[in-house]
Amino acid sequence: MNRAVIGIGAAILGCMLHVAPSNAGAVSSSRGETYPLIHLQSSWMRTLAFGPNGPIPKIVVDQFGYPTLARKIAVVRSPQVGFDKTSHFAPGTVYALVDLVSGRILKQAPLMPWNDGNVHAGSGDKTWWFDFSDVTTPGRYAVVDIDRHVRSPEFAIGEDVYRNVMKHAVRMFFYQRAGFAKDVKFAGADWRDSASHLRQGQDAQSQPWPSTRSASNGTPTRDLRGGWYDAGDYNKYTNWAARNINVLLQAYEENPQAFRDDLNIPESENGVPDLLDEIRWGLEWLARMQNEDGSLLCIQGLASGSPPSASSGPSYYGPATTSASLSGAAAFAFASKIFAKRSEPDLKVFAARLAERAQAAWEWANAHPSVLYFNNDNARQPGSQGLAHGQQEMDDAGRLRTKVEAAVHLYAISNDASLKEFIEKNIDAIAPNSAPTMWNVDSHDIRLYYAGLTGATPSVRNRIVNSFLSFISQATIAFRTGLLKEDPYLSPIQAYTWGSNKGKAMQARLFQLAASLTNDDAVRSLALEAAGGYAHYIHGVNPLGLVYLTNMRLAGAEHSATTTFHAWFANGTRWSKVGPLTPGPAPGFLVGGPNPSYSLDACCNSASGKFYACGSIAAASICRRSYVPPSEQPPQKSYLQFNTPWPANSWAVTEPSTTYQSYYIRLLASFAR
């Protein structure tokens, strides 16, 4: 099979075939029969072995459920390779979809073996499918192996099955707010905390990073409070915060019905969707990062502590850069467009100010096209080591892509002919050289957004849209049967890397775009089904049967992530892991996901006799523990529920990120009601 086509994501679910029953006793028309309630009332985990990630599931489903018209596939699994390889399972001959309240069987049928019974290399599993897509009756259900008395976790069918999921996904940003009290009314008693990083010398009195100070500017104190902690660390990065804002704005613009005003954050019930209130919180921090000349500071480094209010160290900021200013221009302009459409007078004023900020940032970046700053990297930026963690600076291609994005959003609110000229001169320069993949989806997003503006030159519009759709349509047709050999868990991606759950959402985005652009109803339907497969994966249709969102029992998940690498929910604190006596992390944080490239810090692999190579007995003890998994596993099993600090480097597997979160929210918005 053409690997370029596989790059598009091999995820069209139209290839799910209903298999004719092999005997008269196993028919799909057995509505009205019942299954003994006594078998349904016991835990789905009752018959399962347990491993390092919790129960080793035999039947995996989306634990939140399925919209009524969605493709609905339960995956039955027998592990052959990996940490769970001894937990073989021989499924029975008949499976049923059973109503958990009445015991009524709504569908009964045999399983369909995946790929003729071959083991899937990506998971190490032999698998079967139970397709109950034709059941649309709302209710609470489980998939049951009639012969083995084994069942799946419970789930729902209905139009609003993701409403609470979206609530917690968006609320993650509330918990990530810096400098904002998490009052018990909104955060819950287990995660209440006073405002962080507002002590002397912290966010409201941020100082420039020492190596960036000069005799001419002294040590100017800046009020840079607010914004969101970027990830499991508390640092704040302009480029990434602006990217998150743009992705969240897309989610709202495309699917406003998914976002409500009742998420129990302080701004709830003010008549404005809570997502827009949250976006405004992020924008107000970006505004504080903007200088009077229009430029934006690139980064703010914050101290760590658990809970966040315990953080006592100073806050520092980095200098203005071209990329930060372009990112800010894009976010300000896009937000101006969205907020200007609101009826509230204060939001119209806010939108006008954002437009002014966007223009000022654009003008500064044009006048200063190559101002760079590499934080935490003495090799490329002497004196920057220690300022935050992740590298936020862009390469030349990234800056051009961001400049085009800023121009597109500025043009959308101004119709400035010079911006149109710049865009159409450079729009092909940011076109990916390969077929659409999860790696280049952001570039496609920018190009297609411009193509959707009324002022775009028709020939440019048609070239952008047609080239994208021609490939997507071909991929849809190619994978009507291709998925049968690509991924039994219905969500193939090119590679599992650090942050693979974001990769799932990026791959799904290609299908969301296809669904929004095509005039072919069949392609639209198949593309949405494909995108849905990636949401189902995050919600439990994976070899671990794990919902990759933290602490989601109250939202309906029976097996969700119990721990995550996060400074607040740190190892050894009461928030470290969900347990009988400990609350664990706050709900709704999307963890990074399986990562086959995971490894211990290099100091753990020092030469024999250097027991203290990592610097302490405690570190040496961490090195000596087993990390299989996530090591030495098939890609989809390269995961461990742990948050052990350095040198275990668990952040490469379980750390959350506001970027992962925003991409997931955009995906979920297509299906939330």
Least confident interval from 349-353, 422-426, 458-462, 474-478: 474-478
Looking at residue 558, what is its pLDDT? 97
Q: What is the mean pLDDT of residues 190-201?
A: 99
Split at pLDDT 50, 70, 90, the class of 55 is: very high
Given a cut of 60, is residue 165 above it in pLDDT?
yes
Given a cut of 50, is residue 400 above it in pLDDT?
yes
Given a cut of 80, is residue 242 above it in pLDDT?
yes
Given a cut of 50, is residue 266 above it in pLDDT?
yes
Looking at residue 480, what is its pLDDT? 53
Given a cut of 80, is residue 3 above it in pLDDT?
no
Q: What percent helix, strand, coil does the chain show, rounded to 5?
A: 40, 10, 50
Measure Cα distances from 164 to 161, 177, 397, 530, 583 in Å.
7, 21, 39, 22, 19
Looking at residue 14, what is its pLDDT? 32
Q: What is the mean pLDDT of residues 463-479?
A: 81
Q: What is the mean pLDDT of residues 169-184?
A: 99
Mind listing the pLDDT tens digit for each residue in 118-138?
999 999 999 999 999 999 999
Where in the chain are all domains bearing CATH 1.50.10.10? 201-480
Q: Which two tokens stand for residue 518?
A: 């095509």
Split at pLDDT 50, 70, 90, the class of 479 is: low
Burial 383-418 (b: 16+ CB within 10 A, else e): ebeebbbeebbbeeebbbbbbbbbbbbbbbbbeeee
Classify residue 77 by burial, with Cβ atoms within 10 Å: 0-12, 13-18, 19+: buried
Q: Which residue has the higher pLDDT, 20 or 551?
A: 551
Given a cut of 90, is residue 12 above it in pLDDT?
no
Split at pLDDT 50, 70, 90, the class of 17 is: very low
Looking at residue 217, what is its pLDDT? 64
Where in the chain are all domains bearing CATH 2.60.40.10? 15-157
Split at pLDDT 50, 70, 90, the class of 406 is: very high
Mind listing the pLDDT tens digit for each residue in 581-618?
999 999 999 999 999 999 999 999 876 555 568 989 99
Given a cut of 80, is residue 11 above it in pLDDT?
no
Split at pLDDT 50, 70, 90, the class of 27 is: very low
Looking at residue 417, what is its pLDDT? 98
Assess if CATH 3.40.1260.20 describes domain 201-480. Answer: no
For the entire predicted model, the pTM comes to 0.94
Q: What is the mean pLDDT of residues 188-195?
A: 99
Mind listing the pLDDT tens digit for each residue in 303-355?
999 999 999 999 999 999 999 999 999 999 999 999 999 999 999 999 999 99
Instruction: Tally the residues of the chain.
Output: 673
Q: Which CATH superfamily is domain 15-157 in?
A: Immunoglobulins (2.60.40.10)
Cα separation, 237 vs 481, in Å, equals 43
Split at pLDDT 50, 70, 90, the class of 512 is: very high
Cα separation, 524 vs 528, in Å, equals 6
Q: Which residue has the higher pLDDT, 6 or 386?
A: 386
Given a cut of 50, is residue 21 above it in pLDDT?
no
Looking at residue 627, what is its pLDDT? 97
Split at pLDDT 50, 70, 90, the class of 34 is: confident
Q: Which helix (H) or strand (E) holds 20?
A: none
Cα separation, 438 vs 511, in Å, equals 10
What percentage of the chain reaches a pLDDT higher than 70?
92
